[in-house]
Amino acid sequence: MSGSPTLVVNEIYLSLQGESTFAGLPCIFVRLTGCNLRCSYCDTAYAFREGKARSFDDILAEVTRLAAPYPATPWLPGSPELRPASPAGHRLPLVEFTGGEPLLQVRAIDLMRRLCDLGFTVLVETSGAHDISALDPRIRRIVDLKAPGSGEVHRNRLENLEHLRSTDELKLVLGSREDYAWAKDMLTQHHLAERCPVLFSWVAPLLPHQRDASLKALPEVHTPMSRQELVEAIVADALPVRFQLQMHKFIWSPDLRGV
């Protein structure tokens, strides 16, 4: 291993982005090991502990290898006449840091910055329990707001809301009527839709064999809400949010890793 800094990495793979406003685009996922939350619906509990130390040089080499077949020029959606006068564009594939909780490893911020310098569009998906203000402004931050059904609502770092930019995204994972009512209150109380795009994501129930023993339990007083009920409530209440499903779970088996 070289003398460059290291991160504990669970997996690195190329797939399609399954969530966020970037859904459907090619994306290299850098999944880091470790998380200090135990959300009731977590589907990547294997990243709590599994992983090995990899140097920055090794990670950069792997990302470069996976990205090699793609042009190094920005991807611009739509036909030329429909594009804005100064389109930003994004180099494909995207690179997303996820976990686990990627901000637990503070050196990850430096690696994200290096990837930005190389021209990649870098996304980071974070639980919202950690300070996002130190991240390079070029990074697209996808920040969770944990609803009560997660069992971790008390871990929300609401100070992060003041650091959000229009290029960031807020994700609220909702699985019950109580979660939805809480999310509506948060949307109004903190003017969330005026800060950045807001994503309402439906909780895909875990099968018994998918559920890690360390996860928090769904509160007994909660009433489960189906994805159809969530969509119909969003429409009926005229909420300025984007509904999303985890696209990858409809393409591949929900148990499959590396997709």
CATH code, domain with 121: 3.20.20.70
pLDDT(90) > 90? no
Measured between alpha carbons, how far is 110 from 187 in angstroms, rounded to an integer?
Answer: 32
- 50 part of a folded domain: yes
Closest CA to 226 of 198, 248, 252, 204: 204
pTM of the complete model: 0.91
Measured between alpha carbons, how far is 164 from 145 in angstroms, rounded to an integer?
Answer: 13
Closest CA to 32 of 150, 115, 112: 112
At a CB cut-off of 8 Å and minimum separation 6, what does 111 contact?
A: 5, 7, 56, 59, 60
- 54 part of a folded domain: yes
pLDDT(127) > 70? yes
Q: Parallel, antiparallel, or unpaired for β 90-91 and 94-98?
A: unpaired
Look at residue 180 in the predicted model and tell me its pLDDT.
Answer: 98
- 179 part of a folded domain: yes
Closest CA to 243 of 167, 188, 164, 180: 180
pLDDT band at residue 76 under the 50/70/90 scheme = confident
What would the pLDDT profile of 43-73 be if each residue is shown by its tens digit?
999 999 999 999 999 999 999 999 999 988 8
- 117 part of a folded domain: yes
Look at residue 1 in the predicted model and tell me its pLDDT.
Answer: 43
For the chain, how many structural domains are there in total? Answer: 1
pLDDT band at residue 229 under the 50/70/90 scheme = very high
pLDDT band at residue 82 under the 50/70/90 scheme = very low
- 256 part of a folded domain: no
Q: 3-state class of 19 per DSSP?
A: coil
pLDDT band at residue 102 under the 50/70/90 scheme = very high
In degrees to the nearest 10, what's the CA dihedral of 166, 169, 170, 175? Answer: 140
- 141 part of a folded domain: yes
Averaged pLDDT, 177-204: 97
Measured between alpha carbons, how far is 26 from 91 in angstroms, rounded to an integer?
Answer: 10
What would the pLDDT profile of 193-204 be if each residue is shown by its tens digit?
999 999 999 998
- 259 part of a folded domain: no
Cα end-to-end span (Å), the chain = 27
Take residue 172 and report the two structure tokens written for it: 């609220």
- CA 198 vs CA 40, 144, 150: distances in Å: 21, 10, 18
Domain encompassing residue 41: 6-80+89-251
Measured between alpha carbons, how far is 179 from 183 in angstroms, rounded to an integer?
Answer: 6
- CA 49 vs CA 6, 45, 145: distances in Å: 16, 8, 23
- 100 part of a folded domain: yes
Averaged pLDDT, 119-137: 96
The chain-wide mean pLDDT, for the chain, equals 92
Take residue 239 and report the two structure tokens written for it: 């909420």
